Structures are given as C-alpha cells and as structure tokens.
Amino acid sequence: MDSSGADLDRIEAQRSMLVSHDQRKDFSHSGGVGTTSPTGDTEPVPKFRTNLKLSDLFALPGEDVEMTPEIFGGMSNGEKECLEKLRSNGTPMERVKSNTGDSILHIAAKWGHLELVKEIVFECPCLLFEQNSSRQTPLHVAAHGGHTKVVEALVASVTSASASLSTEESERLNPHVRKDEDGNTALYYAIEGRYLEMATCLVNADKDAPFLGNNKGISSLYEAVDAGNKFEDLVKAILKTTDDNVDREVRKFNLDSKLQGNKHLAHVALKAKSIGVLDVILDEYPSLMDEQDEDGRTCLSYGASIGYYKGLCNILNRSTKGVYVCDQDGSFPIHSAAKNDHYEIIKEFIKRCPASKYLLNRLGQNILHVAAKNEASLTAYMLMLDKDTKHLGVGQDVDGNTPLHLAVMNWDFDSITCLASRNHEILKLRNKSGLRARDIAESEVKPNYIFHERWTLALLLYAIHSSGFESVKSLTKQSVPLDPKNNRHYVNALLVVAALVATVTFAAGFTIPGGYISDSKKPNLGRATLATNPTLFIFLLFDILAMQSSVATICTLIWAQLGDPNLIRKSLHVALPLLLFSLLCMPVAFLFGVITAIAHVKWLLVTISIISGGFFLCAIFILGPHVMLQRSYFPPSAGIYLRTFMLTIDISEFFVRKIKTCFGCVACSE
C-alpha cells in the first residue's frame, strides 16, 4: 500500500461519523456584522451522503483524468447531465481536471451554478479542498467571480465537512485561510470586488482570514479599510476586541502581531476618505494616529498632502500634538499642505495652532517657501493676502533664498505676481550668492524662446517697475533660436498665414454685401448698392487694412528668406505685429459685413455682436503675448496688458475647474 493509501486508512480509522441534513440546517455565524443566510435556495447547504467517512474528504489516489471539451462546456453552462455522463462512463469525478488544473467544482463555482455546485459537493466533498494550478480552491474561484450564494453554500459545506476532521487536519485544509499563487485568500477577492454580503459570510466563517497578507503586503483588512464607508461595519467587526478590559497598548501589540503586510490602517482610511472607517480605527487603536507610513509621513502629513479636510479635522479634534511632529524628510504637516496647494488645510492648522505658521523644514523653509517652490500659487496668493502671514515673504532659507527666489528658479509666474506686488521689500533681498530674484531671472532665462521663462521674467520686471524700486527699460529680452532651421520653418508658416489672409480679404473686397447696381436705368451703374451705409464703410475699411497689413507682412518675410540671422530677427519684429493686426482686422471686417446684411433683425444682430466680441478678445489674449514676448523691446508701461492676460487665464481656469467639478458630481450621482 502506498503512503497516500496509508494516510487515508489512518484518517478513516481516526474518526467516523454520520452527518444528517437536519444537523446542517443552519450554518450562519454570530458575533460579527450579523448573520447571513448561506443561500437563497430551498436547500441552504448541499446534502451530504449519510455515513460520510473521512476518506470521502480526500481525493482518491491516482492519475488525473483530462477534462473533455464537452464536459468543460457543459459544466460552464451548468448542465447536470454531464455528471450523469461521468457516472455512466465510470470516470472518477474527483480526478477530472482541465488543462489549468480546475476540477468540475471549480468550473461550476466560477460560473455561479448553485444547484450544480450542490450536487458536485454531495457527490465529491473532497473537491471542496482541491486547488487548481493557481493554487485556488473553489471558494477562491466563486469569490473572485462575485457569486455570493455559491460562496455561502461552499462555506456551509466546508463547515459541515470540517466536523469530520481532526483539529490538526481541519486547520491544515482550511480553505478560508488558503492563499493562491498571488497570496490572496477568498476573503480578499470578496472585498476587492466590493461584495459586502459575501465578505461578511467569510469573516464570520474565519476570524483570522482578514489579517493575512498577500504577496504585495496587502491584507483583507487593509483592503476593507480602503473600500471606504460601505465596509465600515465589517472593519468594525474585524477590529472589535472581545475583552474591553484589555489595555490599548496590548491590543495594539496583538494587532501588529496578527496583521500581515501593510499596517498603516489610519493612512488607508484617509486615502479612502472615509470618516466612518477612520473613526472605527482610531477609536479602537488611537496610537495608529501617531505612526508613520513607509514614506515616513504621519497621519496628519498624509491627510494634508491629499487634501482630505474632514479627515484632518477629525484627527485634530482628537489631538493637535501631531502638528509639531515632523516627517522623515524634516517637513511638518503644514508643509505637506503647502506643497500640494491645500490652503484650507493650512488655515485650519494655523487656526488650531497659530505658532505652526513659523515652522521650518530642514532647508529652513517656511510654508510660503514650500508653496513657491512647488508652484502652489493659490496658497502663495492667500498667504500674502493675509496680514498675519504676509511677513513670511521676507523669510530666507539656509541658502538665503526668499520665496520669490524659489518661485523665479521654478519659473512660477503665478506666484511671482503676488509675492512681488504684495511686499516690495522682498525685491531687495539677496541670497548667500549675492543674487536678487531679478538677477536670477535675467541670468537663467534661456536665449531661445521658451514662453513660460520669458513670461515669468516679464511679470517680474513689471512688478519691479510698478513698485518703483528700480528702473526697468524693457520687459523682454532678445531671443535667439538654437536651431536656424526652425527659423525657416517658422517664417514659412507665417508666410502661409499672411498669404491666406491676403487672399481672403482681397476676394471679400469685391463681394460687397448688398451687391452692385445692375439696372442700367438707374444712376451709378455698377456701384455698390449700399454705398452710403456706414457699416459697409467700416467693413471695407477693416478689409482693406487686413489685406494691406498681410501684404506688408509677406514683403517683410521675403527678406527673412535670405538666411541672415540678424535680418530674420529684424524682419520678425516688423512682420509679427503686422500679421497680428491683419488677423484682428479680418474678423472685425466680417462682423460689419454681416451687420450690413442683417441690420434689420435686431436680436440676431445683438447675438452675433456679443459672440464676435468674445472671440475678438480671445484672439487678442492668445496672439498678443506670442508677438510681444518675441520683441526685443516691450515698454514697462504696457505690462498691465500682461497682468490682464494672466488674470483672464486664471478666471478661465477657475471656470474650467468648476465645470469639471460639476460634471464629476453629476457622474458620481449617476
């Protein structure tokens, strides 16, 4: 007799019992989230054979039988006739396997065929503990597929079958804690799929399963916390200690010893933005609030970094001592909020702990430094607007840099405007290298045209000019392309645009609205019908200006084709403003041409005028900066245009964010 046969004899001799259907009528468990009905069928659990022996719970020794496509398809389709075929052919059902190692119970459970699962378990109870090539039991497969009723039936069957095993064998074969090749339990798949009823059933079946971690270090408890409010009661049931008299430190030690993988549950609750789950965790284990995650961040720092205002207030209500606890990188929670532009959270920190606004990180940087360094323009603006934090603008870090220095180094034009205009003293300060913010901007700006760098420099120089701190001759510097070939492509593109404008406006000059007088009996034959109409005069005026400007642009750009870099720059300085002027004149001419034709329809006239006015302003603000920043000279007095342009962009971005937020809320509600 081989070793497997000897083992079966030993197990069978160990214990023999009868299990009746009446004894297995109720397999629901208490003490968790509540009880769940095993199945919704008339039979709550699969019926076992009477006179069940322990050997029935183990597969017969021997070679596996390859599953035919007919059997595979029939099982997938839930056809009970396939079982009869296997019986009639004398095929051992427990040995039939697919090419992936799935038994017939795996396949039936995968597709959620409850009645077929019951019959297979009745026929071959040993398949309850069978694993496929991925080391998954039928319980894994059913949980992954989201078949709650099948899972409940399998759980009840396992409970009944385990009564026939010794404690040692029951623990060894327990499918609730078995892991597949990824280290996942059936409970993990249930929670990952957000199947609350199924997860409740599995937690009630085995209290240790939630604490087991997979290969990525994620436990079922961790996943349940990450699932948010929906799993609040389940998390509470998992964490609830039966003995409330146990010291909290002892409970925390017990949790650490049981929980595998990631143990930062409070951080996960903040990530899930679930106040209910966060309360459950911190009520049971308050010390989790002070722990640092793998990146060295406390709960307050993590909550501040993701901008979860409610969760952060929840923690502050419990204790404010974490405000003064720094992370591993030397920054404090208020710095994390500043880095990610969460001003509301910064305001809450300052409200609860006023002294926190003075905190410095390891680089000697305050919250305004951090905001300027990370392009958190809203935070920088609001801090400079507040008289209680405005003075932070003159703070210097370990290198002597002010927030304005850092904003210039990162070419953050949004922050530069508020920093330089709200506190003129900051413009005078030098870092340890003896450089002011202006010195850094003028020395670091690249010779070739990079928009955000030249835009930042122009705004900084305009702020200096407005403050009267020192004289500024021009807001721009001469740009020199790094690659001469790019110049030729750029000039050719401008030539094409200018030629198109000239062609269109030339044709429009001879297709006058209202047409021409064709009646030979009338005077002024061949003249414009609406020649005395003032709107026609305006149409012709702007049409001619657009055409003449575009022709002048073409003539100027012809000189740029010679390849002389100096000549190219001078040609562009003339051609770009001319082309901009022609592009602006063309839509004005079109508008008055339409007005000439439909002036009698007042509502249409007003509608078209409003639409055209909006697009005209957009054209100015889109094309204007491109032209102006390329010029070698741009008067400081015209800098107000740049400020207006930036304000327009900020307003547009604000409305875009609001629209996205509204659409996001609608999508979530659906």
CA angle 335, 342, 290 (to 5 degrees): 50
Highest averaged pLDDT of the listed ranges 504-518, 530-544, 656-670: 530-544
- What the block records as the tokens of 47 is 């019926």
Q: Which two tokens stand for residue 273?
A: 């933005």
Model pLDDT, residue 42: 37
Q: How far is CA 262 from CA 230, 271, 586, in A?
A: 21, 14, 64
| pLDDT(244) > 60 | no
How far apart, in whole angstroms, are the C-alpha atoms of residue 413 and residue 405?
12
Q: Is residue 554 one of the residues assigned to a domain?
A: yes
Query: Do both 456 and 591 map to the same domain?
Result: no
Residue 272 lies inside a defined structural domain of this protein: no
Mean pLDDT of the chain: 84
Output the pLDDT for position 326: 93
Q: What is the mean pLDDT of residues 13-28?
A: 34
| Amino acid code (one letter) for 382 | M
- Claim to verify: residue 424 and residue 543 sit in the same structural domain: no
With a CB cutoff of 8 Å and minimum separation 6, the contacts of 146 are: 112, 193, 195, 198
| Mean pLDDT on 75-97 | 91
The answer to whether residue 443 is domain-embedded is yes
HEC string for 123-173: HCHHHHHCCCCCCCCHHHHHHHHCCHHHHHHHHHHHHHHHCCCCHHHHHHH
Question: With contact defined as beta carbons under 8 Å apart, do 137 and 186 qualify?
Answer: yes
Per-residue pLDDT of 631-652, as tens digits, reads: 777 888 877 877 777 777 666 6
Question: What is the pLDDT confidence band of residue 45, given thresholds at 50, 70 and 90?
Answer: very low
Same domain, 454 and 541: no
Distance CA 155, CA 475 (A): 76
CA–CA separation, 478 vs 491, rounded Å? 17
Q: Distances from the Cα of 553 to the Cαs of 270, 494, 533, 573, 587, in angstroms?
A: 60, 9, 31, 11, 18
Do 28 and 136 share a domain, yes or no?
A: yes
Residue 365 lies in a domain: no
Q: What are phi and psi of 97, to 5 degrees?
A: -135, 145
Amino acid 543: pLDDT: 93
Whether residues 459 and 504 share a domain: the answer is: no
| Mean of pLDDT values over 569-597 | 90
Segment 281-293, tens digit of pLDDT: 999 899 999 899 9
Q: What is the pLDDT of residues 162-187, one digit of tens each?
A: 877 778 888 888 999 999 999 999 99
Question: Does 355 reside within a domain?
Answer: no
Nearest to 639 by CA among 458, 435, 396, 385: 458
Query: Which carries the bigger pLDDT value, residue 572 or residue 201?
Result: 201
Structural tokens at position 387: 């008289």
Share of the chain above pLDDT 70, in %: 83
Q: What is the pLDDT of residues 346-389, one digit of tens each?
A: 999 999 999 999 999 999 999 999 999 999 999 999 999 999 99
Same domain, 435 and 578: no
pLDDT mean over 181-196 = 97
Whether residue 130 is found in the same domain as residue 192: yes
Q: Are residues 506 and 446 in the same domain?
A: no
Q: What is the pLDDT of residue 83?
A: 92
Q: Are residues 154 and 22 in the same domain?
A: yes
Cβ-based neighbour number of residue 507 at 10 Å: 11
Q: Which CATH number do you get for residue 113?
A: 1.25.40.20
Report the SS3 class of residue 13. helix
Query: Which tokens in the block code for residue 522?
Result: 């009338």
Please check the confidence at residue 231 and state whether its pLDDT lies above 90.
yes
425 shares a domain with 548: no
In a domain, 178, yes or no: yes
Please check whether residues 23 and 113 belong to one and the same domain.
yes
Confidence band of 241 (pLDDT split at 50, 70, 90): low
Contact in structure between 609 and 590 (CB atoms under 8 Å): no
Q: Are 384 and 414 in contact (CB under 8 A)?
A: no
3 CB contacts (<8 Å, ≥6 apart)?
A: none
User: How are beta strands 96-97 and 65-66 bridged, if at all?
Assistant: parallel
Cα distance between residue 199 and residue 397, in whole Å: 52
Number of domains composing the chain: 3
Q: Which domain holds residue 413?
A: 371-467
The CA distance from 325 to 376, in Å, is: 23
Report if residue 638 sits inside a domain: no
Q: How much is the average pLDDT of 118-130? A: 91
Domain membership of residue 417 (yes or no) is: yes
pLDDT band at 27 (very low <50, low <70, confident <90, very high): very low
Residues 393 and 510 in one domain: no
Q: Averaging pLDDT over each range in 18-27, 275-284, 438-447, which range is the top one?
A: 275-284
